[in-house]
Structure formats: structure tokens, C-alpha cells
Structure 1
Amino acid sequence: MKKSLFPLMLGGLGIGTTEFVMMGLLPDISAGMHISIPEAGHMISAYAMGVVIGAPLLVMLGGNYPPKKILIALMVIFTAFNGLSAFAPTPFTLLMARFFSGLPHGAFFGVGSVVASRLADKGKQAQAISMMFAGLTIANLLVVPLGTWVGHHYEWRYTFGIVAVIGIITLIFLKLWLPALEVDSAGDNRSQLQIFRSPQTWLIVLITAIGTGGLFAWISYIAPLMTNISHFAPDSVSGIMVLAGFGMVVGNFIGGRMADKFNPAKTCAMLLIAMAVTLLCIYFFSANQTVSLILTFVAGALSIALAAPIQILMIDTAKGAEMLGAAVTQAAFNIGNSLGAFLGGLPLTAGYGYNSPVLVGTAMALGGVFFAYLLIRRQKEMVLTT
């Protein structure tokens, strides 16, 4: 890994930790703040809303500044509000801190994706982007379980303190190791917004929001799936999540290499087909514990393998507004998070089994395949007309 990519990976580590550790800390925050678990769950929604709003907004505000300055500013915001989360005196203060912590999330990954692609060797742009997302996968593998353990056994506030420390370390390495790249495009906001007039842009957004929603329909309900269908002990769930995190680490590098070797749109279609098949297998075979664990690893790998291909696809599409396009993709990921969790919960509400959310996930993944097919067909038509 190039030294210049290390600060981006560190940023991904911090962002991945603060996003996913909330799921494990909900009971502790509920008890500590004297609120219900559904009320504590609003903290997750507030963060996701911050990502969706902040991704395009902050990139557009900072579009005419050098990427290094933008990334440093975003990490300052991230660090400050995660620090505030650790000291929040009231539920409302914590809610606002989570919202503002989410604002730089999509913008950091969006700007970071463009920076990584510019720092990459020729033909290895997607692999460079995958190095940034490696931080997010390592967070799920190691730091999120650690942060959850700290929150359970000591104090949930310490976990956000750890995230703030990661932010400070990231700031140091951004200052020391990230090259001072020039502004790639200094167009005004109106010219950047032209990317939304392109059907390709909206197809990529739909691939991301619908297709990756299949992952979240599965992983949002993985605990009851594993305890009620696969019949693992509740204490085993944290270890199973580590296995899914390890799959994400492996899948992240596979996705980066596939996107550099093949057409990114075709790579997305192949990975989404594989995800649909895997989720369908989870529905039918999760009663077998061994098979269930294997499928958990595979589903984790496929979920994050999509990250680099989708980012490079948007960067190639959004010429002149690459940072805005890449940031919008991150917003779409979080829309997929919300959609997958919501739609996956509907069959449970209707009284179906704990493996029923993966059928919703299968349908969403196939929806992503459909939009990928439309994008591939449109790319062929554009080649024929030029």
C-alpha cells in the first residue's frame, strides 16, 4: 500500500467504527440515557440522515478547495462531533451530535475516492479506492467488536472517545502523508449539478440504493436469524459478526481487483447476482450451522466487494464533478441501509420467520441487477452512436 493512501484508510476506520458500533451500543445508551431502545435507535437514523444531507452539500461547498484541505476540514468536523457524542449530557444533545457526526461521512469517502484514484498507478484505480474502504472493513472486523465490548463492560461514552482519538490520528497523517493535490475541477455548483441530468448517474444511484439494500435486509436481522433459525447461542453472535467482518475484508480487495480487470458496471452486475444467490441459499440452508457460517462469510464478502466498483463507475460517469458524484454514491449506500432494514422488517411484522428478510434482500439485489443491465445497455448504445 502506498504511504499516501494510509490516511484515507485511517479515515475509513474511524467512520466505519462510529457508523456500525451504534447497533451494538443501543442497550447501553438506552440504559445510560434512561430512554427506550427504539428512542436510542433514533441515533442511528440521525447519523444516516446526516450522511445523506452532508454528502452532496459539503462537497459542493468545498468543491473549489484542494482535496487535502477538504479532507482535513471534514475530519475536524467528524472528530469534534464524535468527541461531543462522548460527553453529550442529554438524549437531544446526543441526537444532534450523531447527526453532525454523519455529515462528513459521505463527503470524506467521496473526496477520498477521487484522491485515491488520482494517486493510483495506471490501471489500479479501483484497487486504490479499495484500500480506503479497507479501513471500514477492518473497523467491522476488529474495532466495532472492541468498541461494543468497551461499551458493555465499562461505559459507552468511552467508545466515542476512541473514535475521536482515531479522528485525531487521521488528521495528523492527513497533514503529514497526503500529497497536496491541485483542484481537479473548479467549476461552479451549477455546472457540477449537470451530472444529475445524466440517466447514467441515476442508474448508478439506483444500483446502489436498491442493490446494496439487499445486504442490509440480511445483516440488520442477522442476530435473530442466527439464534432462532441456525440455533446458535446468543453469546455466539459477536463472533459471527467478526466472521462477517472478515468476509468484508476479503471481499473488499476482490472487488477492487475485479473492477480494474473488467467493466465496472458488469462487475456490479456479477456481484449482485452472486449476492442474490447467496441470500437465497441463506433462506433455504441457514438451519445447518456449518453452511450458515460459510454463507455468512460469503455474504459479508459480496456486500463490501461492491464498494470500489460502484465508486469507480460513478467517478468515470461524473466527469467534471467526480467528488460530488462519488459523495452521492455514499448517500445512496445509506439510503440502501434504511430501505433494506425497513423492507426487511416487513415480513417479520407480518409474522413470517426470521429468515424471511433475506427473501426481501434477494429481490432488492435482483433489482440492482436490473438497473445494472440497463446501465450496461446504455453504455453500449453510447459507444455505437460515437
Structure 2
Amino acid sequence: MAGVGLVAFAAVWAFAPAVAGNPHASPRKELTAMRSVPLWTAIITITVGFSGLGAVLAYIVPLLEVDNGLDPSDVTWVLMLWGVGTSVGAFWGGRLTDRDHRAASRLGLGLTALALFGIGAFGSSPWATVPLLFLLAVATQIFAQSGQVHLMDVLHGSPSLGSALSHAALNAASALGTGIGALIIAVGLGYQAPAWAALVLTAVALVLVRVGPGYRRAEAAPAL
């Protein structure tokens, strides 16, 4: 992992463009953006939308081993497939976000909801669970690209704050989703049940990207 980190550091050093900072930026100007309703809508959407992912991903190994009966060696390959899915989602998410980040958010969350429903309903069969997990990985990365671009868009001239808030929202989502999943499993509902709670959270995010302030704009392109 240290070697991968060094390669990433060298790549950023070699290829990331040198962009001059904004001489007019100040902490006070950046913090004034916190009064924006579209900004808080974007933060809540990211938090709720990714909470569902945390509720499932945190318990993916027992889901595969206990409910699906896979060997640990098989689980390793499924986790590798998950990684491939995130790469595919990041690639296509970037392309779709360039076209229309609002439509990409709706598409990503819609596919996420489809995958979560499938896991909740058919997640005891590896023939259903494995492809659904791949779809979930792709879908969440599409939402990841578009959601963060939208957050930066509503912040306008506060890029530093936007970057910090984006990571804060993702961390909050991880904690919230993992906690909800733990409570559901603790009461004995099994490892598939968190998918249903995740589906509810994703549905809330879908409503926000449809009618929430900042997402509902007359000049937005038609949904994908």
C-alpha cells in the first residue's frame, strides 16, 4: 500500500496542473456559502444517498459467506469484482456528469435503488447477489461523481469549503449507514435486511435530486 501511495504521489506531482490560487479568497467569504439552501440540500443528498451503500458494504463479507454460502476464497474474487465495478462506475460517471450532473445523479441513485431492491429480495443466492453487487458498485460511483460536482457547482466560489464538505458528507454517510446496518443485524433480521433500510435512504435521496432546491432547475437537461 505504501508503494501504491508513492506511485499516486508521483503521478499527481507529474501530471496535476499548477493552478494559481484566488487572491480574493478568504475564510469569511467561503463560510458565507453555508447559508445556501441548495448547498445544504446537496450535503444531505450525498449523506443520505451514500448511507445506503455503507449499510450494505460494511457487511458484505458475512452476507456472502453466511447468507450465500461462499468460501472465503470466493469472497476475495467477489470483492475484486466490486473494485472493477467502482472503476467502471467512475469512468462512466465522469462522462455522464460532463453531460448533465443532475441527470447523472438521478441515474446513479435509480440504479442504486434497483440493486438494493434486488439484494433485499434475492440476496440469498450468489447468482443474484454477485451481479447485483457489481451493479451497486457501478451505480454508487456514478452518483459519487455527479453528487460531488453538483456540490461544487452550488458553492460557486468556495472550492476549498466544497472539498471539505464533500468528504465530511461521505464520512457522515459511512457512519450513519454502518450504524443502521449494525442495529438491523443486531435485532436478528439477518445480513440481507440492511439492503431494505438502504433502499429507503436511497429513495429519500432520489426525491431530493428530483425536487430539492438546486436540483430542480428549468434549464437542466432532460433526465437520462
Question: Is the TM-score greater than 0.5?
Answer: yes
Q: What is the alpha-carbon root mean square deviation over aligned residues?
A: 2.1
197-206 or 289-298, larger mean C-alpha shift = 289-298
Q: Does 1:372 align with 2:209?
A: yes
Matched to 1:316, the amino acid is D
Q: TM-score, normalised by structure 1?
A: 0.54
3-state SS of the aligned residue for 1:345?
helix
- The runs of at least 4 aligned residues of structure 1 exceeding 6 Å deviation read none
What residue is the counterpart of 1:359 in the other structure? 196
The structure whose Rg is larger is 1
Gaps of 5+ in 2: none
1-side partners of 2:180 and 2:76: how far apart? 24
1-side partners of 2:132 and 2:166: how far apart? 27
Whether contact under 8 Å (1:314, 1:322) holds in the other structure is no
Q: Does 1:205 align with 2:43?
A: yes
1:180, CA displacement in angstroms? 2.1
Whether contact under 8 Å (1:195, 1:325) holds in the other structure is no
Matched to 2:94, the amino acid is G
Give the direction of change, closer, same or farther, for the CA distance of 1:349–1:341 in structure 2 (3 Å limit).
same
1-side partners of 2:67 and 2:7: how far apart? 42
Matched to 1:183, the amino acid is G
2-side partners of 1:205 and 1:306: how far apart? 13
What residue is the counterpart of 1:19 in the other structure? none
**Percent identical:** 24
The higher relative CO (CA closer than 8 Å, separation ≥ 6) is in: 2
Question: Cα deviations across residues 335-378 of structure 1 (Å, max 9, x unaligned)?
Answer: 11111100011111111121111111111111111221233676
What residue is the counterpart of 2:16 in the other structure? 178
Give the direction of change, closer, same or farther, for the CA distance of 1:313–1:278 in structure 2 (3 Å limit).
same
2-side partners of 1:277 and 1:301: how far apart? 12
How do 1:16-31 residues align onto structure 2 when only pairs under 5 Å count?
A: none
Whether contact under 8 Å (1:347, 1:357) holds in the other structure is yes
Gaps of 5+ in 1: 1-161
Q: Does 1:342 align with 2:169?
A: no
What residue is the counterpart of 1:239 in the other structure? 77
Whether contact under 8 Å (1:265, 1:376) holds in the other structure is no
Give the direction of change, closer, same or farther, for the CA distance of 1:173–1:230 in structure 2 (3 Å limit).
closer
